[in-house]
Amino acid sequence: MKKILKWFFLIILAIAAGIAIVTATSQHKKYTAPYPPIKASTDIKVIERGNTSCLTLRISNSAS
């Protein structure tokens, strides 16, 4: 029984060490995505719609 427990804990320890090593080696990865060019709109109707949406959201969130 002691041999089985010893091997069981050794296997669990090896799995935990493997996970720790994989995590430590891959935690500093950087993923770069191609960002689309963004341009602010100068159309008055679009700006007013955004302003109205923001005010509506702010009022609905403060009421709760």
Please provide the size of the chain in residues.
64
Those residues whose C-beta lies under 8 Å from the C-beta of residue 15, and which sit 6 or more positions away, are none
Give the CA dihedral 18, 22, 25, 28, nearest 10 degrees. -150
Reported as half-sphere exposure (CB side, CA atoms, 13 A), residue 35 has a value of 5
pTM of the model: 0.45
Ordered per-residue pLDDT tens for the chain, 64 residues: 888 999 999 999 999 999 999 999 988 888 888 888 888 889 999 989 988 888 777 666 665 5
